[in-house]
Amino acid sequence: MYYSAHYSSPAGGITIVSDGVNLSGLWLDGQKYFYGTLKEEPTENDNIPVLQSAKDWLDRYFAGMKPGISKLPLAPAGSEFRQEVWKILCEIPYGSVMTYGEIAERLAVKKGLSRMSAQAVGGAVGHNPISIVIPCHRVVGSDGSLTGYAGGIEKKEAFLRLEGVDLSRYHWPKKGRQ
Protein backbone atom coordinates (compact mmCIF):
# COMPACT_ATOMS: atom_id res chain seq x y z
CA MET A 1 0.00 0.00 0.00
CA TYR A 2 1.18 3.50 -0.82
CA TYR A 3 0.54 6.70 1.11
CA SER A 4 0.78 10.25 -0.19
CA ALA A 5 1.09 13.77 1.13
CA HIS A 6 1.17 17.14 -0.59
CA TYR A 7 3.85 19.77 -0.20
CA SER A 8 3.68 23.39 -1.33
CA SER A 9 7.06 24.53 -2.60
CA PRO A 10 8.42 27.64 -4.31
CA ALA A 11 8.39 25.49 -7.49
CA GLY A 12 4.69 24.61 -7.06
CA GLY A 13 2.86 21.65 -5.65
CA ILE A 14 4.65 18.39 -4.97
CA THR A 15 3.20 14.96 -4.23
CA ILE A 16 5.29 12.73 -1.98
CA VAL A 17 4.61 8.98 -1.84
CA SER A 18 5.75 6.30 0.60
CA ASP A 19 5.25 2.57 1.02
CA GLY A 20 4.87 3.32 4.73
CA VAL A 21 8.58 2.95 5.48
CA ASN A 22 10.52 4.28 2.48
CA LEU A 23 10.13 7.15 0.08
CA SER A 24 8.72 5.70 -3.15
CA GLY A 25 8.00 8.81 -5.18
CA LEU A 26 8.19 12.58 -5.34
CA TRP A 27 6.57 14.30 -8.30
CA LEU A 28 6.07 17.93 -9.19
CA ASP A 29 2.50 18.78 -10.17
CA GLY A 30 2.16 18.25 -13.91
CA GLN A 31 5.39 16.25 -14.19
CA LYS A 32 5.70 13.59 -16.88
CA TYR A 33 5.34 10.02 -15.65
CA PHE A 34 3.40 11.14 -12.54
CA TYR A 35 2.84 7.99 -10.42
CA GLY A 36 4.55 6.07 -13.23
CA THR A 37 6.26 3.53 -10.98
CA LEU A 38 3.39 2.90 -8.58
CA LYS A 39 1.39 -0.32 -8.76
CA GLU A 40 -1.67 1.28 -7.19
CA GLU A 41 -3.10 4.69 -6.36
CA PRO A 42 -1.80 5.99 -3.01
CA THR A 43 -4.02 6.81 -0.07
CA GLU A 44 -3.55 10.32 1.27
CA ASN A 45 -2.14 10.17 4.79
CA ASP A 46 -0.05 13.05 6.05
CA ASN A 47 0.82 11.21 9.29
CA ILE A 48 3.35 8.75 7.84
CA PRO A 49 6.74 9.57 9.47
CA VAL A 50 8.79 9.20 6.26
CA LEU A 51 6.46 11.64 4.48
CA GLN A 52 7.02 14.15 7.29
CA SER A 53 10.77 13.55 6.99
CA ALA A 54 10.55 14.21 3.25
CA LYS A 55 8.71 17.48 3.89
CA ASP A 56 11.41 18.51 6.37
CA TRP A 57 14.07 17.58 3.80
CA LEU A 58 12.30 19.72 1.18
CA ASP A 59 12.06 22.64 3.64
CA ARG A 60 15.83 22.45 4.09
CA TYR A 61 16.44 22.08 0.34
CA PHE A 62 14.37 25.11 -0.60
CA ALA A 63 16.07 27.10 2.20
CA GLY A 64 19.43 26.35 0.51
CA MET A 65 20.65 24.17 3.38
CA LYS A 66 22.05 21.32 1.20
CA PRO A 67 20.29 18.37 2.88
CA GLY A 68 21.94 14.99 2.38
CA ILE A 69 20.21 12.38 0.26
CA SER A 70 21.14 9.69 2.78
CA LYS A 71 18.84 11.34 5.32
CA LEU A 72 15.84 9.72 3.62
CA PRO A 73 15.16 5.99 3.09
CA LEU A 74 14.68 5.70 -0.68
CA ALA A 75 12.99 2.84 -2.52
CA PRO A 76 12.38 3.89 -6.12
CA ALA A 77 10.85 1.16 -8.28
CA GLY A 78 12.68 0.47 -11.52
CA SER A 79 14.81 -1.94 -13.50
CA GLU A 80 18.37 -2.79 -12.48
CA PHE A 81 19.66 -0.41 -15.16
CA ARG A 82 17.51 2.46 -13.90
CA GLN A 83 18.56 1.75 -10.32
CA GLU A 84 22.23 1.99 -11.38
CA VAL A 85 21.60 5.31 -13.11
CA TRP A 86 19.69 6.69 -10.12
CA LYS A 87 22.52 5.64 -7.80
CA ILE A 88 24.95 7.71 -9.90
CA LEU A 89 22.53 10.66 -9.77
CA CYS A 90 22.70 10.48 -5.97
CA GLU A 91 26.48 10.89 -6.22
CA ILE A 92 26.30 14.23 -8.08
CA PRO A 93 27.15 16.84 -5.45
CA TYR A 94 24.79 19.67 -4.58
CA GLY A 95 25.56 22.61 -6.87
CA SER A 96 27.24 20.43 -9.54
CA VAL A 97 26.13 18.94 -12.83
CA MET A 98 27.03 15.88 -14.89
CA THR A 99 26.23 15.06 -18.51
CA TYR A 100 24.24 12.09 -19.74
CA GLY A 101 27.42 10.99 -21.53
CA GLU A 102 29.47 11.09 -18.33
CA ILE A 103 26.90 8.89 -16.60
CA ALA A 104 26.98 6.50 -19.57
CA GLU A 105 30.79 6.36 -19.35
CA ARG A 106 30.64 5.53 -15.63
CA LEU A 107 28.16 2.74 -16.26
CA ALA A 108 30.22 1.34 -19.13
CA VAL A 109 33.32 1.18 -16.92
CA LYS A 110 31.34 -0.43 -14.10
CA LYS A 111 29.97 -3.10 -16.45
CA GLY A 112 33.24 -3.62 -18.32
CA LEU A 113 31.78 -2.38 -21.60
CA SER A 114 33.48 -0.25 -24.24
CA ARG A 115 30.54 2.16 -24.28
CA MET A 116 27.01 2.74 -23.05
CA SER A 117 24.19 4.68 -24.67
CA ALA A 118 23.69 8.21 -23.34
CA GLN A 119 20.14 8.00 -24.72
CA ALA A 120 19.41 4.96 -22.55
CA VAL A 121 20.77 6.90 -19.59
CA GLY A 122 18.48 9.79 -20.55
CA GLY A 123 15.47 7.49 -20.45
CA ALA A 124 16.39 6.29 -16.97
CA VAL A 125 17.04 9.84 -15.76
CA GLY A 126 13.70 11.01 -17.16
CA HIS A 127 11.80 8.23 -15.38
CA ASN A 128 13.33 8.99 -11.97
CA PRO A 129 10.36 8.64 -9.58
CA ILE A 130 11.91 10.64 -6.72
CA SER A 131 12.58 14.06 -8.26
CA ILE A 132 14.69 16.64 -6.47
CA VAL A 133 15.89 14.14 -3.81
CA ILE A 134 17.40 11.90 -6.49
CA PRO A 135 18.79 14.92 -8.34
CA CYS A 136 17.97 14.29 -11.99
CA HIS A 137 17.87 18.08 -12.44
CA ARG A 138 21.68 18.03 -12.15
CA VAL A 139 22.07 16.25 -15.50
CA VAL A 140 22.71 18.34 -18.61
CA GLY A 141 23.40 17.67 -22.27
CA SER A 142 27.02 17.37 -23.45
CA ASP A 143 26.52 20.59 -25.43
CA GLY A 144 25.52 22.48 -22.26
CA SER A 145 21.82 22.20 -22.95
CA LEU A 146 19.42 22.18 -20.00
CA THR A 147 17.49 19.39 -21.62
CA GLY A 148 15.37 16.47 -20.55
CA TYR A 149 13.70 17.38 -17.26
CA ALA A 150 10.33 15.69 -16.75
CA GLY A 151 9.27 18.52 -14.43
CA GLY A 152 9.98 21.18 -17.05
CA ILE A 153 13.11 23.09 -18.03
CA GLU A 154 11.99 26.15 -16.04
CA LYS A 155 12.01 24.11 -12.82
CA LYS A 156 15.32 22.44 -13.66
CA GLU A 157 16.86 25.88 -14.16
CA ALA A 158 15.32 27.14 -10.89
CA PHE A 159 16.71 24.16 -8.91
CA LEU A 160 20.18 24.60 -10.39
CA ARG A 161 20.04 28.34 -9.66
CA LEU A 162 18.97 27.59 -6.05
CA GLU A 163 21.99 25.28 -5.72
CA GLY A 164 24.32 28.03 -6.94
CA VAL A 165 25.19 26.53 -10.32
CA ASP A 166 26.68 29.12 -12.70
CA LEU A 167 24.09 28.92 -15.48
CA SER A 168 26.03 31.18 -17.86
CA ARG A 169 27.65 28.02 -19.31
CA TYR A 170 24.28 26.39 -20.07
CA HIS A 171 21.44 27.09 -22.47
CA TRP A 172 17.90 26.06 -23.24
CA PRO A 173 17.54 23.24 -25.78
CA LYS A 174 17.28 24.32 -29.42
CA LYS A 175 13.95 22.50 -29.73
CA GLY A 176 12.46 25.05 -27.34
CA ARG A 177 11.12 24.91 -23.87
CA GLN A 178 10.10 21.39 -22.97
- Catalytic amino acids? 136
Phi, psi of 86 (to 5 degrees): -65, -35
For residue 169, what are the contacts with CB-CB under 8 A and spacing of at least 6? 144
SS3 (DSSP) at 81: helix
Sign of the C-alpha dihedral computed for residues 154, 156, 117 and 119 taken in this order: negative
Nearest by Cα to 173 from 157, 153, 155, 150: 153
SS3 (DSSP) at 73: coil
DSSP state of 74: B
